[in-house]
Chain A
Amino acid sequence: MLPEFSIAAERICSSCNLELPAGLGQLIITNSMVMMIVVMAILLSVGLMVKRTVSLVPGTIQNIAEMIIEFIDGMIEPALGPYARSRFPIVASFFIFILFSNWMSLLPFVGTVGYMGEHHGKEVLIPYIRPATADLNMTLALAFAAFVLIHSSGIGSHGLIGHFKAMAQSSWLLAPIFLLIEVFVIVSLSFRLFGNLFAGEVLLGLAGWAFPLVGVVFLMLEVIFGLIQAIIFTMLTLSFASVAIGDVEGHH
């Protein structure tokens, strides 16, 4: 029997919705939200722990953290120029969060431990925890944040009217198309990340069902793809931001 996959994230228990204030309705807690909170908790605690034990002679965790930070710095410095210092936290957050969320989708109980519920009329297993970036809501949120980063860099660099002119690329006839392309960047970024992660989940499920032992090879593939997708998201955001900032003095 083929395993059942669901594109949308599902609620973890049927009656634990949070009531939002001011009559905004109910916040449904989904299984990918649980994973997002877990990833955030782990990253925050590791970050605080590293910060507290910072010393001139680095230990193991500080070494790894410094390696990651230097790698991200190497990506950001050539791209953002004058905004590198101020935009570093958000770009590093993109990279580290996406990387850890991608890799934590490979842990043993993610996506497999759950309760039996109904889905499209069939009784299937609904997992308690599901990879955060394999949910389109999460990647859309990340893509919106990247959009804000790109256009705030552009507006900060050229001013509002200058930024629009730079985006229209000095052709008033085609300006709407170029503006539409900027909006499409959100769709592209979010669907690329979501599609790769969700396809990886489907692949692992099918490989585990069809080739129980040899399917481990796909785990290694997913590790590589998780890293590549984190790098691609960050680098694409930086490339678009670099184009939006344009030619600035002191960086080519």
Chain B
Amino acid sequence: MALHLATEAIAHAPMDLSPLGAGLAIGLAGLGAGIGIGSGVNAAMQALGRNPEAENAVRTTMIIGLGLAEAIGIYGFLISLFLALGLGG
């Protein structure tokens, strides 16, 4: 009977899935950004361990790389905000 109700719902009116989209947007964007930032900092740590004298260059480059990776997460957050606030209808 639940299946029957579900098919009736889908047949009669399109369900508003934007909250689901909002959740997926921030979730997957966070996943991507987390992996990117994690491997960036990992590489920076290894470089620092091999060559502690290059600290300034490594730190500068790492910050720039983190900024670029985090921006992708922000894009996902903005889209999820659009959807969750109902502006994406």
Contacts and interface: CB of A to CB of B under 8 A. Distances in A.
B34 interface: no
A1 to B, nearest CB: 15
Interface in B46-79: 60, 63-64, 66-68, 70-71, 74-75, 77-78
Contacts of A17: none
A51 interface: no
Contacts, number: 46
Given A195-B78, A199-B74, A120 B86 contact: yes
Nearest to A235: B64
B81 A202 contact: yes
A157 interface: no
A152 interface: no
Contact of A232 (B67, B77, B78, B82): B67
Interface in A166-216: 188, 191-192, 194-196, 198-199, 202
Contact of B67 (A5, A7, A228): A228
A194 B71 CA distance: 10
Interface residues of B, number: 17
Interface residues of A, number: 19
A149 interface: no
Contacts of B70: 192, 196
Contacts of B71: 188, 191-192, 195
Contact of B64 (A188, A196, A232): A232
A228 B63 CA distance: 8
Contacts of A137: none
Contact of B75 (A191, A198, A229): A191
Given A191-B71, A191-B75, A199-B77, A7 B82 contact: yes
A195 B79 CA distance: 10
A5 B84 CA distance: 11
B74 A196 contact: yes
A231 B86 CA distance: 33
Given A188-B71, A192-B71, A199-B74, 16 more contacts: A5-B85, A7-B82, A120-B86, A191-B74, A191-B75, A191-B78, A195-B74, A195-B78, A196-B74, A202-B81, A231-B63, A232-B63, A232-B66, A235-B64, A235-B67, A236-B68
14 contacts: A5-B81, A7-B87, A191-B75, A192-B74, A195-B71, A195-B74, A195-B78, A199-B74, A228-B67, A235-B63, A236-B64, A236-B67, A236-B68, A239-B64
Interface of B: 60, 63-64, 66-68, 70-71, 74-75, 77-78, 81-82, 85-87
